[in-house]
Amino acid sequence: MKTALYPGSFDPITFGHIDVIRRSADIFDRVIVTLAVNSDKQPLFSLEERIAQISEAIKDIEQVEVKTFGGLLVRFAEEQKAVAIIRGVRAVSDFDYEFQMALTNRKLSGDIVTVFLAPHERYSYLNSKIVREVARLGGNVECFVPEFIARALSRKFEMEER
Ligand code: PNS
């Protein structure tokens, strides 16, 4: 049974992330979408909101679950008996940061490999930050995220305006 972690902040989860999750589920027996608790970033959505969003977004993909983690990712990977960390790489611009993380994680735990997956090219420009920005400025984000997340984004920014 081969388990992989797919870590990130998912603020919010996008069609690009979901595409990578589907590809991971084709390769591994169990995929844990792993939500970082203590990221440096100040998130738009709370941890509970993001867990609920991810759970809804992955509900039709077998062998995928969501968990949160704090501390070092490789320690959590060891606890979960994961053999791999999945990262989506969209463009060369992602590479420096991803390579640095992969090599750091390998130094910390030689048993866990990082697997880079390319999402479908239709999502190659997409990230959560862009989605938040478009939604904050009143743009339609339904081509970037599931409809229920697009609605949650609208509600969030409407509340902020009040
Ligand atoms: O979606 P993101 O923000 O690019 O995800 C980054 C994340 C959460 C995967 C990364 O910051 C991480 O692994 N954090 C956990 C702390 C850790 O293990 N750091 C050492 C690896 S460089």
Has residue 126 been placed in a domain? no
Task: Find tokens 């084709």 and name the residue.
Answer: 26
User: Does pLDDT of 162 surpass 70?
Assistant: no
Cα(8) to centroid of ligand 1, in Å?
Answer: 6
Q: Is the pTM of this model over 0.85?
A: yes
Q: How confident is the model at residue 123 (pLDDT cuts 50, 70, 90)?
A: very high
Question: pLDDT value at position 41?
Answer: 79
| Structural domain contains residue 48 | yes
Instruction: Give tens-digit pLDDT for 1-41.
Output: 999 999 999 999 999 999 999 999 999 999 999 999 976 77
Ligand 1 pocket, 73 CB below 6 A? Answer: yes
Q: Give the span between the Cα atoms of 111 and 15, in whole angstroms.
A: 30
Q: Rounded distance, CA 143 to CA 141, Å?
A: 5
Over residues 143-152, mean pLDDT = 98
Cα separation, 87 vs 152, whole angstroms:
26
Which residue from 77, 78, 79, 98 is spatially nearest to 87, judged by alpha carbons? 98
Does residue 46 carry a pLDDT above 70?
Answer: yes
72 alpha carbon – ligand 1 mean position (Å): 8
Q: Give a yes or no: residue 26 inside a domain.
A: yes
> Is 113 inside any structural domain?
yes
Q: Is 101 in the pocket of ligand 1 (CB under 6 A)?
A: yes
Check which CATH number belongs to the domain holding 8 and give it: 3.40.50.620
Structurally, how many domains does the chain consist of?
1
Q: What gap in Å lies between CA 104 and CA 157, rounded to an integer?
A: 37
Q: What is the pLDDT of residues 87-111, one digit of tens each?
A: 999 888 889 999 999 999 999 999 9
Q: Is residue 128 part of a domain?
A: no
Residue 39: its pLDDT value, please? 67
| Residue at 37 is within a domain | yes
Domain-embedded: residue 161: no
Cβ contact 37:76 at 8 Å? no
Q: Could you confirm whether 128 is annotated as catalytic?
A: yes
- Token pair for 23: 């590809």
Q: Tell me how crowded residue 82 is: count the other CB atoms within 10 A of its CB.
A: 25
40: containing domain: 3-121
pLDDT in tens, 47-77: 999 999 999 999 999 999 999 999 999 999 9
- In-domain check, residue 144: no
